[in-house]
Chain A
Amino acid sequence: MTKDQREKPKKLTGIAVSPGIVIGKARLVDRSRVKILYQYLIDEKQIKWEVERFEEAVRAAKKQIIAIREKMPKQIQEHSFILDTHLMIMDDSMFHDATVETILKERINAEWALKKSLQKINKLFAEIEDEYVKERVVDVEYVAERVLRCLAGKEQESLFEIKERVIIVAHELSPADTSSIDIGKIMGFITDVGGRTSHAAIIAQSLRIPAVVGLESVTWEVQDGTLLIVDGYTGEVIINPDDNLIIQYQEKHLAQKELESSILRMSHLPAKTVDGYKIAVMANIEFLEEVAAAKDHGAEGIGLYRTEYHYLRGNELPGEEELFSDYKEMAELMAPYPVTIRTLDLGGDRLSPGAGTKTETNPALGLRAIRFCLKNPDIFKTQLRAILRASAYGNIQVMFPMISGLQEFLDTHAILKQVMGELEEKGIAFDRGIKIGIMIEIPSAVSVADILAKHADFFSIGTNDLIQYALAIDRINEHVAFMYQPFHPAILRMIQHVVKVGKEAGITVSLCGEMAGDPLCTSLLLGMGIDELSLNAWGIPAIKQVIRSISMEESKADLERILELDTAKKVREFIEQRMSQLIPYLGRKDLNAEEGSLRGRAQR
């Protein structure tokens, strides 16, 4: 394409949810079509297998529809009939039997055979005069599409065979979508819908790539290969930029990078205060792919490995081998540094059908995390076995989320011991001295922290949940979100108490909530005597830099004064004023962009 034929630049503005600037080609994720390839099957075995593959896909598709039907809100239950029709279509002879027959007779792959069935049905429906009935063919196509997707998923192929680095353009992205994309090939995400907590936003933040959501109609404006500029700082997306715009954004990108790298260069130095006190700074991660970024940013271990991804990506619960190989690779990559694996922190409502529980009116206070695992020991044991087996390959620690008191921890510990016994019997290697920790995120656990400390090897304070539970606010609820205050004196006292009793018992106390990544909290936490901070990888260089700029002595003195202040507002003002003296660059706008993205991260 010559310059003159280029389309004119067009600017769209959405919500910036993950910072950064990228210039690249669009890859449109068309949610309605799966590419179908023709394949001739040579031997009988293949044909038999192909039929089984089709049956398996139909079963999976049915399972999905049943799950959707069960989750339907009461108000629209009457429309669930359409889903029953979809189930019926999958069993229909024209859909199901005809496809199997085509596979057998014409020796072709399931996808192509299904396409042929669909063509036949289409033809029959095209002849119908009744417009309403004619329209029903849409349902057949919808069902076929779902089965085709299941067929594609079964092969573990990426949805869109991406060969070069691209910017993903989609109406919206579900966890299933993002888990079938080759993450390394994605430069950024832009979507029509979504907000700060949408899945695309969370994934982009984790991967440290820019994302803009809520662009409304970007999927209509862009085609595969369209040149795009995505500005994850401002939320601007430029379609078909001209040379001037490209240069302008490249310069902005370079300036931003320069600033980040100046901090990054220092990131491998230890986080030691000016008076020689050292604390460990670790990374919170969610995917194996993030390990490289964690190491690059100077992480001295993984302080929180969220393990929910494997449970959300597919239709079925992950198997022990899948989990094991993931945990093992993580341990090997990080060794000798520790990898702290948090066991499943989900409720049944978010798990695949099969493990499904009824919708709860108040899931935050419902059957989730360790409670769910204790109720479903089989699911729990599978994960524990995977963790223990992986512990033979590196420095793995395990910690349990949402422990509310000693009995719960003892019950959990008993299951862990039981799994250990089983492994021992079978002669399977694992780290017998594996460190066992408790997430402190429920106020009751804070109250009895002294009791818990006698039984655990370490504490990890999950401030995100702790603040919500202690202040009884849901930060996603816009009416009370302003009350989410890490500097609330109650929260500060709670953290201080946990650190104090942990120290008395001689165990490590770490903090893995967003407070760990907020430069304003660093001195405060240091003064309390926290041993480790764990935060999103890209924030590590900045936090290390802060630690290197302050002293333990001053932090302790400041803390004493802070604990005398009676409101969150006063605490914040005091800290802001102190920090602007100690670390002038904290007031700079560019660093606050980082902070903003941290705040935007969904509470999970």
Chain B
Amino acid sequence: MELIKKLKINNELGLHARAAAKIVEVASKYRSKLYLRKGDQEADGSSILSILTLACPKGTEIEARAVGEDSEAMMEALSDLVNRNFDEEK
């Protein structure tokens, strides 16, 4: 099953190393594959380097795509993480 969802990066620092690492953690918890798209660039959600090269500062809109049997749960965990602003301290 494939799920696509638009997410807005709202934390202060954007998708920097710590936030990217948290996305990788989510991606590794589920069997589905995770991809993140910004414009015409797509990143592998299980690769911290790949996510970093997307270079998403605060306010960036990205498109998350989860492919696999548990894509729903994965997407939920991901949007939860993004909405919590990656638990970043203000």
Contacts and interface: CB of A to CB of B under 8 A. Distances in A.
A130 interface: yes
B15 to A, nearest CB: 8
Interface string B10-39: 000111111001001000000000000000
Q: Is the interface of A mostly helix, strand, loop or mixed?
A: helix
Most buried by B among A95, A129, A133: A133
Chain B's interface size range is 10 to 19
Given A94-B44, A136-B17, A140-B49, 14 more contacts: A82-B17, A84-B21, A85-B21, A88-B21, A88-B24, A92-B50, A93-B44, A94-B47, A94-B50, A128-B52, A130-B55, A132-B16, A133-B14, A133-B55
Interface string A533-574: 000000000000000000000000000000000000000000
Interface in B64-82: none
A85 B16 contact: no
Contacts of B55: 128-130, 133
A88 B53 CA distance: 15
B50 A130 contact: no
A125 interface: yes
Contacts of A84: 21
Contacts of B21: 81, 84-85, 88
A93 B18 CA distance: 18
A82 B16 CA distance: 12
Given A88-B21, A88-B24, A93-B44, A133 B16 contact: yes
A121 interface: yes
Contacts of B14: 130, 133
A86 B55 CA distance: 19
B53 A93 contact: no
Given A88-B21, A130-B14, A136-B17, A93 B47 contact: yes
Contacts of B50: 92-94
Contact of B53 (A89, A124, A132, A139): A124
Contact of B52 (A82, A93, A125, A129): A125
16 contacts: A82-B17, A85-B17, A85-B21, A85-B48, A88-B24, A89-B48, A89-B49, A92-B49, A93-B50, A94-B44, A128-B53, A133-B14, A133-B15, A133-B17, A136-B52, A140-B49
4 tightest A-B contacts by CB?
A128-B55, A94-B49, A124-B53, A93-B47
Nearest to B25: A88
A182 B18 CA distance: 42
Contacts of A82: 17
Interface string A83-103: 011001100111100000000
Contacts of A133: 14-17, 52, 55
Contacts of B52: 125, 128, 133, 136
Contact of A125 (B17, B46, B47, B53): B53
A296 B46 CA distance: 62
B57 interface: yes
- A82, A88, A93 — most chain B CB neighbours (10 Å): A88
A106 B64 CA distance: 33
B46 A93 contact: yes
Interface string A63-85: 00000000000000000011011
A139 B17 CA distance: 10
Contacts of B13: 132
A69 to B, nearest CB: 14
Contacts of A130: 14, 55, 57
Contacts of A88: 21, 24, 48
Nearest to A139: B17
A88 B45 CA distance: 13
